[in-house]
């Protein structure tokens, strides 16, 4: 369960809820418990976030909370509250789900005896809303799957995998996302989370099919808790889906289908790469995903390792997939990722048209990644692919897509293989371990540790030098500040207009990024172009290009008003408020995106000082207090930002403070590198460097 070892409010809330629930698990059927848990969270979210939920609904909910806190079973009032909420025009879950059966019982409180304790625990601080309902829902679902004897009907895909697939495909606002075997909706929720980081989820559409007929209502509630209004998940079965696969419907397909399933009557259907064997539907799922893609669509599917090397008809289908240019990459993942099976899995990444994602002349190869040695696994826990592991996999995939020829192979991890070389192998196998070269032989642990120790000494000297410069910078800032009178707080509006005292010479500029109609989701290009800066691309020390999107140079020419110049400051207008970065020569000519503000400081405001001030506690507190939107996605308007009070010392003091903050950033970077190197030395030392091995 990813992040369950971390210390955060969501983990604290889930631990508290689980302690309230766990004593009631034994000796009873727990099949309905997860549905009821998500329904309680959904009711709490709806009542807190809706302006007018209705007097009777609020009354029923309040009485249920009061009953729970006295230990009295609140089932009847929760049932009535959910019934009333489901008929409200703003309730985020629409029919065909049936709320009547969630809290209904045979008249005995013993049917769901844990609800009173669970609801009472939910009211304690920090609340689920304060911790983030999306995170609480994810962790609670994973806790239930890992520690409960009840099953959700299909293998639950852990967040470590749903997030990897979402990060690999990088869904964007306005995308159509499909999961034809969605279970409890984990992939769709991960896609929604990724889109929310780029913009508003409301512009995207989500479609899901559940193979277990108990799961549609679970998935819809889970998606509603992730900010997807009126999600529609239908119950279906593989045969029905395969017989009506659709065409060109989705920009993204994410799926973890049932493995090695036997489905009859498939040989007479129109399959783009050939009829799959009746005894195994793995390649039916792959072809279903591909046929549901739009022309620019991509798909990511979890597959058993056997699909990469099975003989007979499966081998012929692999050849056809390769010949059609439909396969982008195959990733071997570690064993033990799932709660109820230890088998390793592969990730297949497909494209409807590879030429839309790779440069011209570079479409005749496949990326293979062997990530089977990544991840961490604690005793009696599943293996987890942490953020660094996922970044390494998805980062290599995105780099390869930008230029397969220019992306170097990494022994022991990845390689790019031409189609011809794959087809030369008998049966066209697609197991990454057949192609990725083993890691180069490393020097002995003792010699390697000695080299690392020498590097640590050098880094310590660099850090000592940085510490001395930092101290001098602090001294200089103090000397300059002592000569100042108390610095005034000036509204940002007056600074931009040049009407603040001392700023009459050259006013600045403050504008919001272009509207969504000027840069649409379809305008982004996959190869080349001009980068468009969004909030996710702003870091504490500059701009991240890991997942930055681009538009064509021709379109960028029509957005000259939003072009960045060295010395500009780009500010986030949504999400984590206070993020800001100063434009350097490298970003000259980039475009300010929809989710950002562009400030061209007046002559008396230092850009680096202003960016540091925005990241400080005073500005962040003010921005949070004056923001709108949800707890997860706060927003600040241009009119409100213009009233931000800015502490404005003299220009010399601003420059001295900015220099000190840059020195602090550099010092922090050096210390992090030293820590990482120290941890590596400890690992190597215990691996035979100084500790004798048997």
Dump pLDDT digits (tens) for 644-679: 999 888 877 888 888 887 788 777 778 877 887 888
CA atoms within 13 A on the CB side of 28: 14
> Residue 502's pLDDT is what?
54
Q: State the average pLDDT over residues 386-395.
A: 92
| Structure-token pair, residue 70 | 């006295």
Q: State the average pLDDT over residues 287-293.
A: 92
CA nearest to 542, candidates 531, 533, 550, 552: 533
* Whether residue 152 has pLDDT greater than 50: no
Residue 610: C-alpha distances to residues 536, 653, 659, 661 (Å): 20, 12, 12, 11
Q: Which residue in this structure is represented by tokens 């192998």?
A: 425
Is residue 146 exposed (0-12), middle (13-18) or buried (19+ Cβ within 10 Å)?
A: middle
* Whether residue 446 has pLDDT greater than 70: no
Task: Tell me phi and psi for residue 419, to 5 degrees.
Answer: -55, -45
DSSP 208-242: EEESSTTSHHHHHHHHHHTT-SS-EEEE--HHHHH
Residue 7: C-alpha distances to residues 13, 228, 676 (Å): 11, 27, 21
Q: State the average pLDDT over residues 540-544.
A: 79
Rounded CA separation 54/50 (Å):
9
> Residue 46's pLDDT is what?
87
Rounded CA separation 387/523 (Å):
29
For 286, residues 6+ apart whose C-beta sits below 8 A from its C-beta are: 273, 301, 303, 307, 317, 321, 348, 350
**Lowest-confidence region among 107-121, 472-486, 569-583:** 472-486
How confident is residue 600, by pLDDT bands cut at 50, 70 and 90? very high
Percent pLDDT > 70 in the chain is 88
Task: Tell me phi and psi for residue 444, to 5 degrees.
Answer: -60, 155
Domain extent listing, the chain: 1-150, 155-438, 445-470+668-689, 488-648
Dump pLDDT digits (tens) for 213-240: 778 888 888 888 888 887 778 888 888 8
DSSP 410: B
> Residue 504's pLDDT is what?
42
Pairing relationship of beta strands 327-332 and 232-235 according to DSSP bridges: unpaired
Rounded CA separation 527/358 (Å):
7
> Residue 260's pLDDT is what?
81
**Lowest-confidence region among 46-60, 282-296, 315-329, 398-412:** 46-60
Q: State the average pLDDT over residues 76-97.
A: 80
Residue 574: C-alpha distances to residues 166, 517, 535 (Å): 21, 18, 7
Is residue 71 exposed (0-12), middle (13-18) or buried (19+ Cβ within 10 Å)?
A: exposed
CA nearest to 325, candidates 361, 350, 295: 350
> Residue 1's pLDDT is what?
39
Rounded CA separation 109/556 (Å):
63
Q: Comparing 493 with 687, which gets the higher pLDDT?
A: 493
* Whether residue 434 has pLDDT greater than 70: yes
* Whether residue 455 has pLDDT greater than 70: yes
CA nearest to 141, candidates 32, 13, 14: 14
**Lowest-confidence region among 164-173, 321-330, 373-382:** 373-382
Rounded CA separation 693/687 (Å):
8
Q: State the average pLDDT over residues 523-535.
A: 87
Q: Are the beta carbons of 57 and 42 closer than 8 angstroms? A: no
Provide the whole-model pTM.
0.63
DSSP 426: T
Residues forming beta bridges with residue 254, ordered by sequence position = 300
| Structure-token pair, residue 190 | 């991960």
Q: Are the beta carbons of 163 and 190 closer than 8 angstroms? A: yes
CA nearest to 348, candidates 312, 383, 314: 314
CA nearest to 400, candidates 387, 389, 416, 420: 416
Rounded CA separation 384/613 (Å):
37
Q: State the average pLDDT over residues 433-438.
A: 89
CA quadruple 187, 191, 194, 196: dihedral sign: negative
> Residue 151's pLDDT is what?
53
DSSP 329-388: EEEE--S--SSS-----EEEEEES-GGGTS-TT--SEEEEEE-TT--B--TTS--B--HH
DSSP 267: T
> Residue 86's pLDDT is what?
84
CA quadruple 224, 230, 235, 240: dihedral sign: negative
- In the predicted model, what is the mean pLDDT of the chain? 84
CATH of domain 155-438: 3.40.50.150
CATH of domain 488-648: 3.90.220.20
| Structure-token pair, residue 37 | 């848990």
Q: Are the beta carbons of 537 and 590 closer than 8 angstroms? A: no
* Whether residue 479 has pLDDT greater than 70: no
| Structure-token pair, residue 584 | 């350097």
DSSP 264: S
> Residue 109's pLDDT is what?
45
Q: Are the beta carbons of 520 and 538 closer than 8 angstroms? A: no
Rounded CA separation 269/17 (Å):
49
For 422, residues 6+ apart whose C-beta sits below 8 A from its C-beta are: 322, 366, 428, 429, 430, 435
Q: Are the beta carbons of 582 and 564 closer than 8 angstroms? A: no
**Lowest-confidence region among 51-65, 339-353, 528-542, 680-694:** 680-694
Dump pLDDT digits (tens) for 153-191: 455 788 889 999 999 999 988 889 999 998 888 999 999
Please work out, in degrees rounded to the nearest 5, the angle formed at the alpha carbon of residue 324 by the alpha carbons of 323 and 328.
95
Is residue 596 exposed (0-12), middle (13-18) or buried (19+ Cβ within 10 Å)?
A: buried
């Amino acid at each position: 369960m990813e992040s369950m070892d971390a210390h955060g409010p969501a983990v604290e809330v889930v631990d508290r809820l689980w302690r309230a629930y766990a004593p009631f698990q034994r000796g009873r059927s727990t099949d309905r418990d997860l549905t009821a848990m998500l329904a309680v969270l959904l009711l709490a979210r709806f009542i807190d976030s809706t302006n007018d939920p209705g007097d009777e609904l609020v009354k029923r909910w309040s009485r249920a909370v009061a009953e729970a806190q006295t230990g009295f079973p609140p089932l009847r009032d929760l049932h009535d509250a959910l019934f009333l909420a489901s008929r409200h025009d703003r309730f985020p879950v629409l029919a065909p789900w049936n709320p009547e059966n969630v809290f209904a019982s045979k008249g005995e409180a013993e049917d769901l005896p844990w609800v009173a304790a669970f609801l009472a625990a939910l009211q304690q601080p920090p609340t689920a809303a304060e911790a983030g309902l999306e995170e609480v829902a994810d962790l609670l679902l994973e806790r239930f799957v890992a520690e409960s004897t009840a099953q959700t009907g299909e293998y639950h895909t852990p967040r470590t995998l749903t997030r990897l697939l979402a990060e690999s495909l990088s869904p964007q606002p306005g995308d159509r996302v499909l999961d034809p075997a969605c279970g409890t909706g984990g992939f769709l929720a991960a896609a929604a989370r990724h889109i929310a980081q780029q913009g508003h989820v409301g512009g995207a559409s989500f479609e899901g099919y559940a193979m277990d007929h108990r799961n549609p209502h679970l998935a819809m509630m889970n998606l509603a808790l992730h900010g997807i209004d009126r999600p529609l998940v239908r119950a279906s079965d593989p045969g029905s889906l395969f017989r009506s696969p659709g065409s060109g419907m989705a920009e993204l397909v994410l799926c973890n289908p049932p493995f090695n399933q036997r489905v009859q009557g498939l040989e007479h259907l129109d399959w783009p790469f050939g009829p799959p064997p009746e005894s195994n539907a793995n390649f039916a799922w792959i072809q279903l995903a591909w046929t549901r893609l739009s022309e620019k669509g991509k798909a990511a599917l979890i597959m058993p390792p056997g699909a990469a090397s099975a003989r007979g008809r499966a081998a012929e289908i692999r050849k056809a997939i390769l010949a059609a240019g439909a396969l982008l990459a195959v990733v071997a993942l570690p064993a033990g990722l799932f709660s109820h099976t230890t088998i390793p899995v592969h990730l297949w990444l497909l494209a409807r048209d590879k030429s839309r994602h790779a440069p011209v002349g570079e479409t005749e190869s496949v990326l293979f990644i062997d990530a089977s040695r990544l991840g961490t696994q604690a005793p009696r826990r599943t293996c987890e692919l942490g953020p660094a592991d996922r970044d390494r996999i998805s980062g290599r995939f995105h780099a390869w897509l930008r230029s397969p020829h220019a992306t170097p192979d990494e022994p022991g991890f990845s390689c790019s293989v031409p189609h011809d070389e794959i087809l030369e192998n008998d049966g066209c196998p697609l197991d990454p371990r057949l192609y990725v070269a083993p890691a180069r032989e490393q020097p002995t642990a003792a010699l390697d540790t000695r080299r690392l120790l020498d590097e640590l000494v050098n880094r310590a000297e660099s850090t000592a030098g940085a510490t001395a410069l930092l101290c001098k910078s602090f001294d200089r800032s103090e000397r300059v500040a002592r000569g100042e009178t108390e610095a005034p707080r000036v509204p940002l509006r007056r600074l931009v207009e040049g009407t603040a005292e001392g700023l009459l010479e050259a006013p600045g500029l403050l504008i919001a990024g272009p509207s969504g109609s000027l840069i649409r989701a379809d305008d982004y290009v996959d190869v080349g172009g001009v980068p468009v800066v969004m909030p996710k691309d702003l870091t504490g020390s500059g701009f991240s290009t890991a997942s930055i999107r681009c538009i064509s140079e021709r379109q960028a020419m029509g957005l000259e008003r939003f072009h960045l110049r060295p010395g500009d400051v780009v500010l986030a207008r949504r999400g984590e408020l206070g993020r800001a970065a100063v434009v350097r020569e490298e970003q000259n000519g980039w475009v300010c995106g929809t989710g950002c503000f562009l400030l061209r400081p007046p002559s008396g405001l230092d850009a680096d000082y202003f960016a540091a001030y925005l990241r400080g506690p005073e500005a962040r507190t003010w921005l949070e207090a004056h923001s709108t939107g949800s707890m997860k996605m706060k927003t600040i308007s241009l009119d409100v930002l213009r009233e931000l009070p800015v502490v404005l010392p003299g220009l010399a003091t601003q420059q001295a403070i900015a220099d000190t903050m840059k020195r602090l950033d550099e010092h922090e970077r050096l210390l992090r590198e030293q820590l990482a190197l120290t941890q590596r030395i400890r690992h190597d030392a215990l691996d035979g460097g100084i500790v004798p091995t048997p």
